[in-house]
Amino acid sequence: MPCYVGLDASKRTTSICVMDQGGVIVKEGAVATEPKAIVGFLRGDGYRYARVGMEVWSVAPWLYAGLSRAGLPIICIEAWHAGRVLGAARKNKTDKNDARGIAEIMRAGIYKAVTIKTVTSQRIKALLTVRKMLKTKATDMENAIGSALLTFGLKLNHGAATTFDRRVRALVGSNAFLSGLIEPVLLVRRHTLEAMAKFEERLHQLANEDPVCRRLMTAPGVGYLVALTYRAAVDEPGRFHASRDVAAHLGLTPRMHESGETRRQGGITRSGDAAARSALYIAALYQLRSHGKPSWLRTWGQQVAARRGRKKAAVAIARRLAVTLHRMWTTQSNFRWSEDAA
């Protein structure tokens, strides 16, 4: 008789529940959050496992890889969906109850599976995340400096990021208190920007060495950051049955509400990878500019903008660009600039 396993993993320990086909718990316990410890708990009792379920979170790729190598039928499920199911079934939330609930979800088959990204995509995502974090911290320090100066009636004018230090020091002048307050922050900001520049150089080199990114960058508005972000989000193009499914996966399709005679179409769903959606939107805004090499995508986007407005046109271009990039990836062809060629 096949059994079903629920894993509720935390940073230190993992609660495990083994349930048979009739819903009877045959084994449960807690082990260290290590693939070897989980495999050791499940092996040796002669049970045959049909599904092993685990919510997706930060450590999920590592556990998934270890359990897959051990031959276990591991499935990562969507945490939001599992939480709604568990919340409706159980009033007391404990690790033990969560493991039991995930085992029941596996037995019933009412789960939404999540694809675990490849190591290449995980590395690209990690580099992009750190680069974004450094950029955010630098912006936060600039805002904090401007706010501190404004407290004393000193208004910092807008300007290029490269002249920020000079403009601040010119505004502070010989004020000893403000100099002692601002100089350490300027020093940290400079080191942060230097670290960010190194990450950007590494990302630029990575995109130039990757054949997929080089092909994606032949599309208008797609630079190395957009290409890497899109590649990390899609990861495996073959997991989409059609290229248009990528737009829905990235949350670029309209939200629908239909009930009886009521049918409403709202804004985009905003589901999926927010970074990829934002990158495609920025690339779409580039298409609406009047300068640059003309293409069928720009002509189509400008026609949409004339009818529906600039914002809706940008979303429409981003959606179509997501589909086009996937098609370029699967067919291994560069972007075709003319409408006849496309």
Same domain, 221 and 265: yes
* 113 located within any domain: no
The CATH number of the domain where 76 resides is what?
3.30.420.40
Same domain, 60 and 104: yes
* 276 located within any domain: yes
Per DSSP, the three-state class of 109 is coil
- What pLDDT, on a 0 to 100 scale, did the predictor assign at position 341? 56
* 114 located within any domain: no
* 338 located within any domain: no
Q: What is the pLDDT of residues 230-279, one digit of tens each?
A: 999 999 999 999 999 999 999 999 998 888 878 888 889 998 899 999 99
Nearest to 298 by CA among 271, 276, 317: 317
State the sign of the Cα–Cα–Cα–Cα dihedral 163, 164, 165, 171: positive
- What pLDDT, on a 0 to 100 scale, did the predictor assign at position 260? 80
Give the best-scoring range by mean pLDDT among 87-96, 213-222, 330-339. 213-222
Same domain, 198 and 218: no
Q: What is the pLDDT of residues 41-51, one digit of tens each?
A: 999 888 999 99
- Over the chain, what is the mean pLDDT? 92
Task: Give me the torsion for CA of 186, 187, 190, 191, rounded to 10°.
Answer: -150
Average pLDDT over residues 120-144: 95
* 337 located within any domain: no
Same domain, 74 and 169: no
Same domain, 76 and 152: no
Side-by-side strand order, sheet with 25-32: 25-32, 13-20, 2-9, 48-55, 74-77
Same domain, 201 and 247: no
- What pLDDT, on a 0 to 100 scale, did the predictor assign at position 125? 95
Domain boundary (166, 183, 209) is at 209
- What pLDDT, on a 0 to 100 scale, did the predictor assign at position 291? 76
Q: Which of 31-35, 246-250, 337-341 has the lowest mean pLDDT?
A: 337-341
Domain boundary (61, 77, 108) is at 108
Same domain, 199 and 218: no
Backbone angles phi, psi at 259, to 5 degrees: -155, 110
Q: Where are the beta strands (DSSP E) in 220-310?
A: 254-259, 262-268
- Domain of residue 130: give its range: 119-209
Nearest to 50 by CA among 73, 29, 71: 73
Q: What is the pLDDT of residues 148-173, one digit of tens each?
A: 999 999 999 888 989 999 999 999 99
Domain boundary (191, 209, 227) is at 209
Same domain, 84 and 156: no
Query: What is the domain count for the chain?
Result: 3
Same domain, 175 and 284: no
**E strand or H helix at 333:** none
Q: Rounded to two decimals, what is the model's pTM? A: 0.88
Same domain, 203 and 224: no
* 36 located within any domain: yes
* 228 located within any domain: yes
Same domain, 186 and 222: no
Q: Which comes out higher in pLDDT, residue 118 or 259?
A: 118
- What pLDDT, on a 0 to 100 scale, did the predictor assign at position 209? 96
* 58 located within any domain: yes
Residue 342: pLDDT band (50, 70, 90) is low
Same domain, 18 and 102: yes
